[in-house]
Structure 1
Amino acid sequence: MALRYNTDGLGFTYIALVIAWTCLLLPAAIFLLRNRHLPFLRMRNIPLAISAVAVLHVYWVLCMIAYVLNGFFPCATEYWIMSVYLPVGIALFQATNSQLFSIATAQKRYAKGDIVVETRTPNPKTRGWRKWWAKLKTYNATKNTMAWIGIAMIVQIVEEAGHGETPLW
């Protein structure tokens, strides 16, 4: 059985959707990066938000062109794309939302006049993994959430790379 591209109407529609959406997404990302100094954008983590959207966009593009490519990728590659790109994109998006929620909470506290901030310092005598654990416990809610999301993303990628069927690149 010879592999060939699906160049029917549905295939062209998928490719047109991918091109049109990418042509809308890129100028929007460039606009956000160029104007990140504006007050309403400065409080958001624009690079994190754009990376979340970019990873999810790559996942969507690969899903859309899977029909057109008609089986050129083995199932293991398609599974790897699904099990890495989607969770990482959602984790980055969750980190963006968590950061923005933290800012909104801080603004509410500031408006109420409750601006007391407590700081904790880790014990300098701890070593090894306990040092990292103590440092993680000193983080505020946003940094703690970001740290756990980062740890989970690394575990997800390492776990998927450990299967050995498909390389990471």
Structure 2
Amino acid sequence: MKKLMSESYAVKTANVLPPDSNSHGTLFGGRLLQYVDDIAAISARRHCREAVVTASIDSMDFLRPIHVGEIVILEAMVTHTGRSSMEVMVKISKEDLTRESGKELAAFSFLTFVALDENNNTVEVPKIEPDTERLQWLNDTGKERAERRLERKERSKSLSNFFASDLLE
């Protein structure tokens, strides 16, 4: 079974308030990561209609600060699938509603989710079908990102032996 990429599309919008900010008056990176993980999980669940868990966050590339008083807009979509895994891209924009400047790209991230059944066993997810040429590019390049993820995971496994004891030992 295949599903269109657009069927997994999800949006989250939030005001950036003082409790969400750091001493520079910008959105805490950790708060943004929380928003990213939340909207990405919704997108993955929308695609597979199963419970999902976060398997990895490839990166979080901050391009522009998001200030108190602005709104943050997160758009998520499943961009690539494996057997039980789904890559989700999250595009993060900011908007200052006191100005007519429009939305600006502030950050983006790729995450991987795994679908689980009620016994926490992995389950197969539907394959993905791009709706447009732009989405086709995201899907086509997803295989390369998945390969890099697997390489990184293998390196992390080897590092786990190094970090098995206390750091200062």
**TM-score grouping bracket, smaller chain normalisation:** under 0.3
Structure with higher helix content: 1
TM-score by length of 1: 0.26
Task: State the TM-score, normalizing by the size of structure 2.
Answer: 0.26
